[in-house]
Amino acid sequence: MEEVETIHRGAEIIRNGGVVAFPTETVYGLGADAFDPIAVARIFEIKNRPSFDPLIVHIADLDEMSRLATVIPLSAEKLIKRFWPGPLTIVFLKKEEVPDIVTAGLPTVAIRMPRHPIALQLIKKADRPIAAPSANPFGYVSPTTAEHVREQLGNRVDLILNGGPCEVGLESTILSFSGEKPRLLRPGGLPIEEIESVIGGVETSPVEEAKPSSPGRLPRHYAPRTPIVINEWKQNLGAYQNKKIGLLAFREVNVSFPFHHVEVLSPRGDFREAAANLFAAIRRLDVLNLDLILAEPVPEVGLGRAIMDRLRRASKR
């Protein structure tokens, strides 16, 4: 864990228009002052991120909502009470003064209160909301350790705060209140079942639109270099003889096939453990120069829905 002085130095950098990578409970973020358009522009530059992809604004205190959102519907308020700080991002109609570069010109703003103590201290000390995407080059797997950030963006950011491996390991669930019914924009670290237990039914069908309102939903996203195939591999191993294959297994397996490398996400088949290990496991496989990564599908309930969502996007070519 970082020393308090380092976190305060990070806050000072943010206040001066710099960019700081920091841990959250979901994945590492790349943060700048949400009300400083030039600082935010640097995030897009560093990530090589298209400007049509809006950022999540991170807060540490509910008071900050009044500078960001116009209306807070009652059911959103219930979710905030129950799940913040935590892996839930909520999309609201935005206040005029939120810079366009943060919201990609949309009339809405995505807000979340992370629960990692370093993130909370950083935001509090900076004394302003921090706009932050995941701290990876655009389209690549999100970082779940400070080393992941250092490997890919190390020399391009002003400071990397190290908070150890992320507890959740998947990005936040994104829920929009900009339409008539609450709508799921991205499955993530908070299972939809838990949200529905508080506010009832949520729209989960994807919206048809020219410009995706959540590019985390672009078909190919969170992708490693190595092709990934999602497969009930037990049945089809013959097709992979003579190839350098890695296996991304959900639970403990007993295989006779000569896999080059096997990653087991959770030996006992626990979703939380699997989610926390997913991105690091994909990275470990991705540096082995494999011909292919075979990924075992997981049941699509609870966190399994977000895990399968990320696997599908990672497998798109």
Q: Which residues bind Mg ion (CB under 5 A)?
A: 134
For Cα atoms 167, 123, 25, give the angle at the middle one, nearest 5 degrees.
5
Instruction: Determine the Cα–Cα distance for residues 288 and 11; give it in Å rounded to an integer.
Output: 37
Site for ligand TXA contains 89 (CB under 6 A): yes
For ligand TXA, which is the closer residue by CB, 59 or 245?
Answer: 59
Site for ligand TXA contains 144 (CB under 6 A): no
Beta bridge mates, 69: 94
Site for ligand TXA contains 108 (CB under 6 A): yes
Work out how close the CB of 47 gets to ligand TXA at its nearest, in angstroms, rounded to a whole number. 9
Instruction: Determine the Cα–Cα distance for residues 251 and 144; give it in Å rounded to an integer.
Output: 20
Handedness of CA 147, 48, 190, 128 (dihedral sign): positive
3-state secondary structure at position 240: helix
Site for ligand TXA contains 171 (CB under 6 A): yes
Distances (CA, A) of 222 to 25, 142, 143, 282: 18, 7, 10, 10
For ligand TXA, which is the closer residue by CB, 118 or 249?
Answer: 118
Q: Of these partners, ligand TXA, Mg ion, none, which one is at the site of residue 11 (CB under 5 to 8 Å by kind)? A: none
Binding residues among 298-317 for ligand TXA as defined by CB under 6 A: none
Among 18, 163, 182, 215, binds ligand TXA (CB under 6 A): 215
Site for ligand TXA contains 149 (CB under 6 A): no
User: What does the per-residue mask of binding to ligand TXA show for 38-57, with x meaning CB under 6 A?
Assistant: ---------------xxxx-
Among 7, 39, 46, 110, binds ligand TXA (CB under 6 A): 110
Rg (CA), the chain: 19
- Convert 122-141 to b/e letters by CB count within 10 Å (16 or more is b): bbebbebbbbbbbbbeebbb
Q: Of these partners, Mg ion, ligand TXA, none, which one is at the site of residue 106 (CB under 5 to 8 Å by kind)? A: ligand TXA
For ligand TXA, which is the closer residue by CB, 187 or 246?
Answer: 187
Site for ligand TXA contains 103 (CB under 6 A): yes
Among candidate residues 287, 288, 317, 254, the one with its CA nearest the CA of residue 296: 254
Work out how close the CB of 262 gets to ligand TXA at its nearest, in angstroms, rounded to a whole number. 28
Q: Which two tokens stand for residue 59?
A: 């807060």
For ligand TXA, which is the closer residue by CB, 142 or 226?
Answer: 142
Distances (CA, A) of 89 to 58, 111, 112, 298: 9, 5, 5, 24
Instruction: Determine the Cα–Cα distance for residues 213 and 176; give it in Å rounded to an integer.
Output: 10
For Mg ion, which is the closer residue by CB, 134 or 173?
Answer: 134
Per CB under 6 A, residues contacting ligand TXA are 24, 26-27, 29, 53-56, 89, 91, 103, 106, 108-110, 112, 114, 132-134, 171-172, 174, 185, 213-216
